[in-house]
Amino acid sequence: MIPFMKLAGSGNDFILIDNRRGALAPTRLKRLAIQLCRRRWSVGADGLIVIEPSSRADFKWKFFNADGSRAGFCGNGARCAARFAHIKKIARRHMVFETRVGLIAAEVVSPRGERVKVRMPDPKGLRLDVKIPIDGQEYIAHLVDAGVPHCVYMVDDLDNADVEGLGRTTRNHRLFRPVGTNVNFINVVDSHRIGIRTYERGVEGETLACGTGSIAAAVIANKLAGATSPVTVMPASGLPLIVAFTVKDGMYREVFMEGDARVIYDGYIKPDALD
């Protein structure tokens, strides 16, 4: 039996396992993510986070999407990992952990621990007004890497955006091969508020929230619609994310995201969950 905890950040849910003693072999983790993230058949989640020891930080994580693929980073997952580490006494309220995109600083900011702030990777690779040909039409998109690649469409009607259809086609478009991209549909409400819906690669469908997608949304909204820090990003879950940033010489620095990190339950994974 494998002890685990399930947490959710702004509607994204994750399975967290403390593997600092190395009970789970590295070769087993991809398959384990696929098995455990199945909804109805197993625990069910958007991703699996495995906590391991680090020689240069409080801990290291390995992040797996629901389809078993590795991701460089995940903003909502980062908040959940920080709260998990604090609960398990792996780290204090202020912590640093190791990821594929470098060292990430996080802080458990509320007394009960349910709110966490994370310093996000600096966005890079910004490209505006990119034409994407799909089925004889040209769609105008904006691209930015917020730890993982994101494509952003600005829309007037967020409720009726074709997240599943256009999202899936864009995610798999030849322009983004071989790794693909996450796809965000955003509506700028005012200078401090953005609505967002996201099609996530690795989950291969719309999720209730996306942390790195919220960073991408804030950057694009700042560039094209005058949004200013701090920005409240409202995802499909209705649980807001607060994004703060500074802009210097056209570059985005000191990017922070704050939001909830809820403990849903903990327990043991039994063999039936792996069938």
Beta bridge partners, 3, equal 268
Closest CA to 79 of 264, 267, 265, 257: 257
The question of whether 37 is a catalytic residue gets the answer: no
The active-site residue, picked from 37, 74, 80, 151, is 74
The active-site residue, picked from 37, 80, 151, 210, is: 210
- CA angle, corner 171, sides to 245 and 39, nearest 5? 90
Q: In Å, how far from its chain's centre is CA 202?
A: 11
Residue 211: its H or E element: helix 211-225
Cα first-last separation, the chain: 14
Structure-block tokens of residue 71:
């991701």
- Residue 151 annotated to the active site: no
Burial 229-255 (b: 16+ CB within 10 A, else e): bebbbbbbbebbbbbbbeeeeeebeeb
Q: Can you say how many angstroms the Cα of residue 33 is from the centroid of all Cα atoms in its chain? A: 16
> Under a CB-based contact definition with an 8 Å cutoff, are residues 6 and 264 in contact?
yes
> From CA 92, how far away is CA 42, in angstroms rounded?
31
Helix (H, G, I), strand (E, B) or coil at 214: helix
Residues designated catalytic: 74, 210
